[in-house]
């Protein structure tokens, strides 16, 4: 009877250990996914900022050309 109780106890603790291992693996996977998502978001933000700067440069250039054309028409 004592051996059976010991075996059941070992099985119980083994089940707990397996559950903890699965939780740890899951936590690791979640952390990895979060890191990847953060990296992707940062890269997307950098790309968006670059596009904004490029568009601002184009807008400034077009505004300058429009003012030059307006001045040329006045002459």
Look at the chain and report how many structural domains it folds into. 1
Nearest C-alpha neighbor of 44 from the set 32, 33, 56, 52: 52
Residue 58 domain-assigned?
yes
Q: What would you report as the CA-atom Rg of the chain, rounded to the nearest whole angstrom?
A: 32
Q: What is the pLDDT of residues 47-65, one digit of tens each?
A: 999 999 999 999 999 999 9
Residue 39 domain-assigned?
yes
Residue 16 domain-assigned?
no
* Residue with the two structure tokens 């979640």: 30
Residue 10 domain-assigned?
no
Domain of residue 34 covers: 22-75
Element spanning 6, H or E: helix 2-74
Regarding pTM above 0.75, the answer is no
Q: What is the pLDDT of residues 2-25, one digit of tens each?
A: 787 887 888 878 899 889 989 999
Residue 54 domain-assigned?
yes
């Amino acid at each position: 009877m004592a051996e059976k109780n010991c075996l059941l106890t070992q099985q119980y603790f083994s089940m707990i250990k397996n559950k903890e291992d699965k939780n740890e693996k899951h936590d690791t996977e979640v952390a990895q996914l979060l890191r990847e998502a953060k990296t992707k978001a940062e890269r997307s933000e950098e790309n968006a900022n670059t596009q904004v700067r490029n568009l601002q440069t184009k807008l400034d250039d077009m505004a300058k050309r429009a003012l030059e054309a307006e001045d040329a028409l006045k002459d």
